Amino acid sequence: MAYCQQCGTQVTDPNNRCPTCGWVPPAPVQLRRTEGGAIASLVLGIIGLTMCPFIPSIIAIILGSQAKQRLVADPTLDGEAFARVGVILGWIGVALFGGGLLLVMTTSAFSYLGPWR
């Protein structure tokens, strides 16, 4: 049985409202769940930049974009910042990989065709 924390009256009201002073216990804090795909996107974005290039970056962009859509659809989900950073890191990873690949290709082409040889 619940008792009013304000005045000690026994509360029988289904809404836990105190019949004497009208005190209502605070609603339990709703825990916001963190969107799993947003975390995965962030982790893969970091992996794509540090350990293994390109493929984790691509997956980070995909997972982050999907997580953003789920976050928009469900306001109780948290992790929008994770998803945003994951997608950004993913694009950086892709850009670095693409840029590096281009650099290797052009330098090898120039060293092959270069007039200084």
H or E stretch including 89? helix 80-113
Q: Name the token pair of 57.
A: 């970056």
Asked if 105 contacts 112 with a C-beta cutoff of 8 angstroms, the reply is no
Task: Indicate the residue among 8 and 100 with the shorter CB distance to Zn ion.
Answer: 8
Helix (H) or strand (E) holding 108: helix 80-113
> Is position 21 an interface residue for Zn ion (rule: CB under 5 A)?
yes
Among 1, 2, 3, 6, binds Zn ion (CB under 5 A): 6
The CB-of-23 to Zn ion minimum distance in angstroms stands at 4
Site membership for Zn ion, residue 20 (CB under 5 A): yes
Nearer to Zn ion, 6 or 107 (CB): 6
Do residues 21 and 4 lie in contact, with contact meaning Cβ atoms separated by under 8 Å?
Answer: yes
Of 16-24, 39-47, 81-89, 98-106: span binding Zn ion (CB under 5 A) = 16-24
Q: Which stretch binds Zn ion (CB under 5 A): 11-19, 48-56, 65-73, 96-104?
A: 11-19
Give CA 31 to chain center in angstroms.
16
Give the interface with Zn ion as residue ranges (CB under 5 A): 4, 6-7, 9, 18, 20-21, 23
